[in-house]
């Protein structure tokens, strides 16, 4: 068996060969290192890129989250806005509901107040009616009570409709006690005067005072009593038309007139400025000229006493029958009281034939006393009512010169109208006025004729002790009228 031959080993002994190998190895290592370096740097770049991408992704996510957060916040804000709107709506609803409830409560309270006031007014009205209905109670019987709280009812200096012959404080009267007396009936109370209630009662109506200067005195009093409740001058007027003076409260369409007709029938004294006091003539069958003025009135207040009084003992008057035109004129001379009866009879006939009992209310004012004879109350006649500052306090006082017979005669004629359903209410103001010797103008009024030397030397000689200062006694006459109109 042949032995296998061993491979031959080639040994390089050349120096050049070793250097090549070393160089090759070095180059190889350099290449490998470079590749490793490049690979590492590539990995770093990739890592960096990855990191950057990751950062970008994170930023995007953050931005997305932020945007999402903003969206969430927007949604939250929207939700909050909706909640606020809903809450506001709820508040409005609750507010409206509360307002409705409050309104209902207020309405209920107002209704309750109205009911209470209505009940109070009704109770007051019933109490007043009760007082008025007492048979034993007479407004005309009583006494004067000093009252500087509720009297006067108005200011004479402020009443733009007052007449100068009764504006005593304007013409120098310094004592004003006469303005502060209140009439207190025995056993009852006068209804408290309320201007607004009276004007409401007179809405779309006409009240006429018919008579002489004392009736005009009462008319001025009533106008001052009501006009004080109408502060706006544009809502009240006064118009003169011959014998007719008309006051109108425009807001109420209420008219309060005065018509000058001192003797009721046609007479030679029908001119309110120019007339003869002592020489008087009436036309017995002529009333229509005057009646045409008051025919359609809703309320008429007649007064006619002063002009039937005798100015001197032998004073008489003339009564004319027929007419000069027809050639049957006749003049008869009669006593003053007989002339009064002729006039009252004719007036009664006219009322019975022409008055609508369902529309018109008729009043006849009692006799207003004068205070020209001071001996009636223990004074000197020469002084008349001059310097009197207090009423007569004696209860039941009746002056010897006060005539009640004319009023009794008028009442007897007016009673004949009752079967026809026509009632003439007498305003019995004589007794209460008789106490008031202090209530006249005396010398404190406008003098239309210059005073003589004799009059200046003796003021009592021209003192007016017939008419009444305002505010004053005629205000009570109108309180009577108010009481009848409102409650009887």
List, by residue number, the catalytic residues.
Answer: 213, 464, 467
What is the residue-wise DSSP string for 446-470?
A: --SSPPPHHHHH-GGGG-B-SS--S
Lookup: tokens for 298: 């809703």
Q: Helix 15-133 to helix 473-487 angle, to the nearest 10 degrees?
A: 100
Lookup: tokens for 436: 């008031």
Q: Please name which of 165, 158, 243 lies closest in space to residue 209, comparing C-alpha atoms.
A: 243
Q: Helix 336-354 to helix 405-414 angle, to the nearest 10 degrees?
A: 30
- Note whether 285 and 267 are within 8 A (CB): no
How distant, in Å, are the alpha carbons of 41, 57, 306, 444, 466 from that of 433? Answer: 137, 117, 14, 19, 11
- Note whether 201 and 485 are within 8 A (CB): yes
CB proximity list for 380: less than 8 A, separation 6 or greater = 374
Q: Sort strands 299-302 and 424-427 into parallel, antiparallel or unpaired.
A: unpaired
What is the residue-wise DSSP string for 361-404?
A: EEEEE-PPPP---GGGGTS-GGGTTTT--S----TT---TT---
Helix and strand totals (H; E) in the chain: 9, 12
């Amino acid at each position: 068996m042949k032995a296998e031959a061993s491979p031959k080993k080639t040994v390089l002994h050349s120096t050049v060969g070793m250097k090549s190998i070393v160089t090759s190895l070095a180059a190889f290592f350099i290449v490998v290192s470079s590749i490793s370096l490049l690979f590492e740097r590539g990995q770093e770049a990739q890592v960096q890129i990855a990191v950057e991408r990751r950062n970008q992704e994170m930023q995007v996510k953050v931005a997305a989250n932020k945007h999402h957060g903003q969206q969430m916040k927007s949604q939250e804000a929207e939700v909050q806005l909706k909640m606020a709107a809903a809450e506001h709506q709820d508040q409005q609803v609750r507010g409206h509901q509360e307002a409705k409830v409050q309104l209902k409560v207020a309405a209920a309270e107002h209704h309750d107040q109205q009911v209470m006031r209505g009940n109070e007014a009704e109770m007051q009205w019933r109490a007043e009616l009760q007082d008025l209905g007492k048979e034993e109670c007479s407004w005309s019987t009583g006494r004067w009570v000093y009252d500087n709280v509720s009297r006067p009812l108005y200011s004479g200096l402020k009443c733009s409709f007052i007449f100068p012959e009764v504006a005593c404080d304007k013409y120098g009267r310094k004592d004003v006690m006469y303005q502060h007396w209140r009439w207190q009936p025995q056993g009852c109370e006068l209804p408290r005067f309320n201007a607004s209630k009276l004007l409401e009662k007179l809405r779309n109506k006409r009240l006429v005072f018919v008579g002489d200067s004392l009736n005009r005195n009462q008319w001025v009093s009533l106008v001052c009593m009501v006009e004080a409740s109408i502060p706006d001058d544009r809502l009240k007027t006064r118009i003169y038309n011959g014998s007719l003076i008309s006051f109108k409260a425009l807001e109420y369409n209420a008219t309060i007139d005065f018509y000058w007709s001192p003797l009721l029938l046609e007479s030679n004294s029908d001119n309110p400025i120019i007339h003869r006091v002592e020489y008087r003539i009436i036309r017995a069958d002529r009333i229509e000229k005057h009646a045409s003025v008051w025919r359609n009135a809703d309320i008429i207040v007649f007064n006619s006493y002063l002009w039937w009084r005798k100015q001197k003992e032998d004073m008489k008057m003339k009564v004319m029958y027929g007419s000069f035109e027809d050639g049957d004129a006749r003049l008869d001379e009669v006593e003053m009281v007989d002339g009064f009866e002729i006039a009252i009879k004719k007036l009664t006939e006219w009322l019975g034939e022409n008055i609508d009992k369902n529309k018109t209310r008729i009043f006849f004012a009692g006799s207003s006393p004068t205070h020209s004879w001071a001996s009636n109350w223990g004074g000197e006649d020469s002084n008349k009512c001059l310097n009197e500052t207090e009423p007569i306090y004696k209860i039941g006082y009746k002056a010897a010169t006060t005539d009640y017979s004319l009023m009794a005669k008028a009442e007897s004629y007016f009673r004949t109208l009752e079967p026809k359903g026509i009632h003439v209410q007498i305003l019995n103001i004589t007794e209460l006025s008789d106490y008031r010797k202090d209530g006249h103008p005396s010398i404190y009024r406008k003098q239309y004729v210059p005073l003589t030397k004799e009059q200046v030397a003796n003021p009592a000689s021209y003192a007016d002790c017939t008419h009444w200062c305002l505010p004053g006694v005629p205000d009570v006459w109108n309180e009577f009228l108010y009481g009848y109109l409102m409650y009887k």
